[in-house]
Chains A and B, each alone.
Chain A
Amino acid sequence: MSKKDQIREEVTIRFAGDSGDGMQLTGSLFTNTTALLGNDLRTLPEFPAEIRAPQGTVPGVSSFQLQFGSHEILTPGDECDALVVMNSAALKANLSMLKKKGIIIANTAGFDKKNLGLAKYANGVNPLEDGSLDDFEVIKLDVTKLVKEALSDSGLGFKDIERSKNMFVLGLLYWMYNRPLESTINFLNQKFGSKKPEIADANIKVLKAGYFYGETVELFSARVTVKQAELEPGEYRNVTGNEALVLGLVAAARKSNLPLFFGSYPITPASEVLHGLAVHKKFGITTFQAEDEIAAVTSAIGASFGGSIGVTSSSGPGIALKGEGIGLAVMLELPLIVLNVQRAGPSTGMPTKTEQADLMQAVYGRNGESPLVVLAPQSPADCFIMAFEAVRISLEHMIPVMFLSDGFIANGSEPWKFPKSDDLANIKVKFEGPRLNGEAGAYKPYLRDDKLVRTWAIPGTEGIEHRVGGLEKEDGTGNVSYDPENHQKMTNIRRDKRDNVKFNIPKQAVDQGAESGETLVLGWGGTYGTIRTVVHQLRKEGRDVSHAHLRYINPFPENFEELLKRFDRVIVPEINDGQLVRLIRSEFLIPALAINKVKGRPFEVRELKAAIESKISENVAS
């Protein structure tokens, strides 16, 4: 470590460039290296929906933000300390997210006349030259030229040389933040090593060139060290939400000893779940890329009828299409797991931007009285636990379970102290057994146990041949019935069966703060990290504020109402126009207060803190 190194507790950096500049990969590689160094971290990848949005323009900018630190890090950071901009559009789109006196690392090749024009800077204006960035520390380098020089004797063509320029920037950042190169070198060797060793060599060379550049031009004022975080002892890996979700499903299949059938139709930001599961065939996983969302959900129902764990995935628009199918699973009382990785709506909305606005759709969005279970993970790693829980509950209660993730959780990553297979509980499944020689009369598919759960009777079992369907069922026999009393009874049974799940889930805990008092901040889903950080700060300032985070939303945990009523006021921040808050108000008749934002981005810490402070003072004043 050089004498000039500063030590910081946390740092936020942001990589920004054209969609073709490889910023997502650069960010992911920096994240892996940083995780391996033992920092706690959170990431926020942001990219356009277009595969190649018009090059050089502001809508084509792709960025990756990451906060890492030597203490608990729960958000990707509000503003960044360092901003990498590969072209002028990246600067224009991201400058507002840089702290005062922050560092800009600018690729001057992206600030020529053509790029400035594409980014719609006025004619003759170059922000790198006109003094408009005087409040920041600007490090200018012509990455394209430097990379060309580094690879002058590589024999590679212009395209391959141009493609490796993100590695130069990554190398430079590794020098600035004292990170080792090994993990990235290993990655490059694995990715290109066997097939295109010359590409691997070139990228490694450029990575090292970037690293040495920092030293050569003496960027010491920018050099920072962030020490290892004090995490709970154990073995860790880095994981994104969608990765953890895949692992949770595979683990649940293994621990229930059932095959898993995954029917899906590609949609942003849920497609990675399909890609992730498709490689795990040896775990008895079947993935089916269906012709549409409806076939995706109904094929999963078909598999579930046959005794597999039926799973389907999508995002909001696709969930809308699956609605009738989900209703069928409610009626058939078969296991079904529906994954919704939410994005900004309505309609096609903003596919790559995050939102939590499908909660009402999850709870109520089907025809008729159609009760099901709704779960929501609170962080990337929590997707593992909640996916496992979704399968467990669905199998144990013969009921569809909706799993509500969102784009922020799905693409974001964090260190994960992964469990051992032996630490995971088995999920016990029992199929209805055969009846030989007509013993005990005809099988009745809609007889129930004390939790109101019917049996899982799969084809291939002698003597229990039976028919199910979407028409109302007669209690017990499952025969078609239009009897008014029976419909009332069955509607009640389906509701009570769902409500019984509350006795098979953990009680609601207070995450932070007192068990009763003035203010409870209640969140669900991806807002967890931000709310936890804000409540921590408010408590340090002496405020009587607690935080509870719902992961089991429908039904609410057994003790939930009682917990809410121990607080004078409940504030519910959500990335929607007020959905959980409406459920709380209508269910428990309490005047819960709402904080809402729908900008396709998570709450910032300072923004949410200010909003909570103002809610409290308004509430006190009135």
Chain B
Amino acid sequence: MVDTVIDNFVKEHEADLTTLPDYHSKDFASDQDVRWCPGCGDYTILKQVQNAMPELGLAKKDIVFISGIGCSSRFPYYMDTFGMHSIHGRAPAIATGLKVSRPDLSVWIITGDGDSLSIGANHFTQLLRRNVNVNLLLFNNEIYGLTKGQYSPASPTGSITKSTPFGSIDHPFNPLALSLGANGTFVARAMDRDPKHLKEMILRSHKHQGTSMLEIYQNCIVFNDAVFEVFTDKKTRPQETIYLEHGQPLVFGKDNEKGIHLNGFTPEVVELGDNFTKEDLWVHDETDRVKAYILSRFFDQKPESGEGLMFPRPFGVLYAEEKPTYDAGVNAQILSAKEKQGEADLDALLRGNETWVVK
């Protein structure tokens, strides 16, 4: 077996931290000034990631944040861990190379709706299908912020932006449906304005073995303010959102007076009371891919008027599945080759099968 410099280096320094320091949130803040616009949703997300970090049970030295390009992608500069602010859309590929070669690390991808649904959509979906054991936080603000206000692949049809003064024509991606379609093994949604739930989802993402895709609704105060207000405003939130909990019925509303009933494969919003009780409601099962897909379609506008939503928007874990990870598979093949094929003999390799001697 080849003991490489890295193996030895990692082994040697494992002992550097036999007991983890008593980390606090602020230990994960770097010395760099945070430069997002005042009021940007990114601040809350940064705060919740920093709050979640001490609870991972990991040393800072073993955590890496990798981002692409966009406002959210400045994120790694503000974390006092290892980090790389890379190029547009490519963070999933960089993270794959890092995680496969260094399975000992906890690797986090920070990306936005432009970064991962447009220029990097290929890498995003390939990461999900391979199920590399990394966590991906998709900051979705449905707009291009850093390039100053063009529509994104997540912007609803008709969005009036700098590049679409007469309204956008193309249909948006539904990021959760896309992730499920790519055979993602962990698909969840949170929002910047519900920090407690957000932190919970960050911790769940970490716990999941495989690619964890957490979409985070994030308000862009400058170019797309209040686009998620219907979900975040205290007045409308109870009617327009539904929080998913594994094994619990799908109820929502100010007084939990509504629920989702599954009529065959067709979901229906029902009022709890004489006709329907909680027992009649759809009970959330994170492990059911078909139902997760139905939930991901709680996304569309009402068909006739085009105004208002057909269903409350689900938050929480839509789908979670244990499945072998890509990085574990790659490393198992390397180990098995080392075991089965015996000594890695460079001289035998250079010599090849047929040689001759010139005297």
Selected interface stretch from B78-86, B189-197, B215-223, B283-291: B78-86
Q: How far is B33's CA from A480's CA once the two chains are assembled, in angstroms?
A: 11
* Complex interface residues of chain B between 77 and 112 (CB less than 8 A to chain A): 77, 79-87, 90, 92-102, 104-105
A409 within 8 A of B: no
- Describe A's contact surface by its main secondary structure: mixed
A469 touching B86 in the complex, CB below 8 Å, given contacts A32-B354, A237-B351:
yes
Contact A298 B344 (CB under 8 A): no
Contact A434 B16 (CB under 8 A): yes
Q: How far is B10's CA from A429's CA once the two chains are assembled, in angstroms?
A: 15
* The residue from B17, B101, B350 contacting A303, defined by CB atoms under 8 A apart: B101
Most chain-B CB neighbours within 10 Å: which of A459, A464, A479, A480? Answer: A459
Residues of chain B within 8 A (CB-CB) of A479 are 32
Contact B84 A467 (CB under 8 A): yes
Contact A465 B85 (CB under 8 A): no
Q: How far is B249's CA from A133's CA once the two chains are assembled, in angstroms?
A: 88
In whole Å, how far is B135's beta carbon from the nearest beta carbon of chain A? Answer: 15
Q: How far is B357's CA from A418's CA once the two chains are assembled, in angstroms?
A: 11
Residues of chain A within 8 A (CB-CB) of B347 are 420-421
Residues of chain A within 8 A (CB-CB) of B79 are 467
Residues of chain A within 8 A (CB-CB) of B87 are 298, 324-325, 327-328, 470
Most chain-B CB neighbours within 10 Å: which of A263, A302, A306, A324? Answer: A302
Contact B354 A36 (CB under 8 A): yes
Residues of chain A within 8 A (CB-CB) of B234 are none
A280 within 8 A of B: yes
Contact B85 A467 (CB under 8 A): yes
Contact A288 B357 (CB under 8 A): no
Contact A298 B93 (CB under 8 A): yes
* Complex interface residues of chain B between 335 and 350 (CB less than 8 A to chain A): 337-338, 341-342, 344, 346-347, 349-350
A613 within 8 A of B: no
Residues of chain A within 8 A (CB-CB) of B31 are 442
Contact B5 A258 (CB under 8 A): yes
Contact B86 A328 (CB under 8 A): yes
A308 touching B6 in the complex, CB below 8 Å, given contacts A442-B31, A470-B85:
yes
* The residue from B59, B346, B358 contacting A421, defined by CB atoms under 8 A apart: B346
The proximity string for B residues 137-150 relative to A, scoring 1 for CB distances below 8 Å and 0 otherwise, is 00000000000000
Q: How far is B80's CA from A442's CA once the two chains are assembled, in angstroms?
A: 11
* The residue from B13, B83, B346, B357 contacting A461, defined by CB atoms under 8 A apart: B13
A462 within 8 A of B: yes
Residues of chain A within 8 A (CB-CB) of B355 are 235-237, 418
B30 within 8 A of A: yes
Residues of chain B within 8 A (CB-CB) of A239 are 352
The proximity string for A residues 156-195 relative to B, scoring 1 for CB distances below 8 Å and 0 otherwise, is 0000000000000000000000000001000000000000
Residues of chain B within 8 A (CB-CB) of A291 are 93, 122-123, 126
* The residue from B64, B77, B97, B357 contacting A459, defined by CB atoms under 8 A apart: B64
B323 within 8 A of A: no
In whole Å, how far is A345's beta carbon from the nearest beta carbon of chain B? Answer: 24
Selected interface stretch from A48-56, A248-256, A548-556, A581-589: A248-256
* Complex interface residues of chain A between 474 and 518 (CB less than 8 A to chain B): 479-480
Q: How far is B200's CA from A600's CA once the two chains are assembled, in angstroms?
A: 61
Contact B5 A307 (CB under 8 A): yes
Selected interface stretch from A3-11, A226-234, A370-378: A226-234
* The residue from A280, A292, A302 contacting B96, defined by CB atoms under 8 A apart: A302
Contact B32 A302 (CB under 8 A): no
B60 within 8 A of A: yes
Q: How far is B83's CA from A418's CA once the two chains are assembled, in angstroms?
A: 42
Contact A282 B5 (CB under 8 A): no
> Across the two chains, which residue of chain B brings its CB closest to A278?
B333
Residues of chain B within 8 A (CB-CB) of A431 are 5-6, 9
A281 touching B338 in the complex, CB below 8 Å, given contacts A247-B349, A459-B64, A469-B84:
yes
Contact A258 B4 (CB under 8 A): yes
B62 within 8 A of A: yes
B330 within 8 A of A: yes
Contact B105 A468 (CB under 8 A): no
Q: How far is B122's CA from A355's CA once the two chains are assembled, in angstroms?
A: 31
Contact A233 B61 (CB under 8 A): no
* The residue from A434, A464, A468 contacting B85, defined by CB atoms under 8 A apart: A468
A310 within 8 A of B: yes
> Across the two chains, which residue of chain A brings its CB closest to B96?
A299
What total count of A-B pairs have CB within 8 Å? 239
Q: How far is B76's CA from A310's CA once the two chains are assembled, in angstroms?
A: 22
Most chain-A CB neighbours within 10 Å: which of B31, B60, B80, B337? Answer: B337
> Across the two chains, which residue of chain A brings its CB closest to B89?
A294
Q: How far is B334's CA from A325's CA once the two chains are assembled, in angstroms?
A: 27
Q: How far is B32's CA from A8's CA once the two chains are assembled, in angstroms?
A: 76
In whole Å, how far is B333's beta carbon from the nearest beta carbon of chain A? Answer: 6
Q: How far is B355's CA from A286's CA once the two chains are assembled, in angstroms?
A: 28
A290 within 8 A of B: yes
* Complex interface residues of chain B between 301 and 359 (CB less than 8 A to chain A): 330, 333-334, 337-338, 341-342, 344, 346-347, 349-352, 354-359
> Across the two chains, which residue of chain B brings its CB closest to A229?
B358
Contact A332 B123 (CB under 8 A): no
> Across the two chains, which residue of chain A brings its CB closest to B352?
A237
Q: How far is B346's CA from A325's CA once the two chains are assembled, in angstroms?
A: 32
* The residue from B16, B100, B344 contacting A283, defined by CB atoms under 8 A apart: B344
Contact A282 B94 (CB under 8 A): no
In whole Å, how far is A396's beta carbon from the nearest beta carbon of chain B? Answer: 14
* The residue from A258, A294, A480 contacting B6, defined by CB atoms under 8 A apart: A258
In whole Å, how far is A73's beta carbon from the nearest beta carbon of chain B? Answer: 14
Q: How far is B92's CA from A292's CA once the two chains are assembled, in angstroms?
A: 13
> Across the two chains, which residue of chain A brings its CB closest to B88?
A324
A214 within 8 A of B: no
Q: How far is B64's CA from A459's CA once the two chains are assembled, in angstroms?
A: 7
Q: How far is B88's CA from A327's CA once the two chains are assembled, in angstroms?
A: 13
* The residue from A256, A301, A307, A328 contacting B102, defined by CB atoms under 8 A apart: A307
Residues of chain B within 8 A (CB-CB) of A466 are 82-83
Q: How far is B59's CA from A308's CA once the two chains are assembled, in angstroms?
A: 21
Most chain-B CB neighbours within 10 Å: which of A251, A263, A286, A295? Answer: A295
Contact B6 A307 (CB under 8 A): yes
The proximity string for A residues 423-453 relative to B, scoring 1 for CB distances below 8 Å and 0 otherwise, is 0000001010010100000100000000000
Q: How far is B95's CA from A288's CA once the two chains are assembled, in angstroms?
A: 13
* Complex interface residues of chain A between 229 and 279 (CB less than 8 A to chain B): 230-239, 247, 250-251, 254, 256-259, 261, 263
Contact B86 A298 (CB under 8 A): yes
* Complex interface residues of chain B between 8 and 36 (CB less than 8 A to chain A): 9-10, 13, 16-17, 30-32
* The residue from A230, A464, A469 contacting B76, defined by CB atoms under 8 A apart: A469
Q: How far is B349's CA from A419's CA once the two chains are assembled, in angstroms?
A: 11
Contact A257 B90 (CB under 8 A): no
* The residue from B60, B85, B351 contacting A418, defined by CB atoms under 8 A apart: B351
Q: How far is B35's CA from A480's CA once the two chains are assembled, in angstroms?
A: 12
Residues of chain B within 8 A (CB-CB) of A403 are none
Contact A299 B344 (CB under 8 A): no
> Across the two chains, which residue of chain B brings its CB closest to A248?
B350
* The residue from B86, B94, B359 contacting A233, defined by CB atoms under 8 A apart: B359
Contact A303 B97 (CB under 8 A): yes
The proximity string for B residues 56-79 relative to A, scoring 1 for CB distances below 8 Å and 0 otherwise, is 000111111010010000001101
Contact B97 A292 (CB under 8 A): no
In whole Å, how far is B88's beta carbon from the nearest beta carbon of chain A? Answer: 8
Contact A302 B105 (CB under 8 A): no
Query: Which 7 residue pairs of A and B lie closest in terms of their CB atoms, listed nearest first?
Result: A469-B85, A302-B97, A299-B97, A295-B93, A302-B94, A281-B337, A302-B98
9 A-B pairs besides A247-B349, A257-B5 with CB distance below 8 A are A237-B351, A257-B2, A258-B4, A295-B96, A306-B98, A306-B102, A464-B61, A469-B86, A470-B87
Query: Could you jot down 29 A-B contacts, CB within 8 Å?
Result: A232-B358, A247-B349, A247-B350, A257-B3, A257-B5, A281-B333, A283-B344, A283-B349, A286-B334, A288-B97, A291-B126, A295-B122, A295-B126, A298-B90, A299-B97, A301-B97, A302-B101, A303-B101, A305-B94, A306-B6, A308-B6, A308-B102, A325-B87, A459-B62, A463-B61, A467-B79, A467-B83, A480-B32, A480-B77
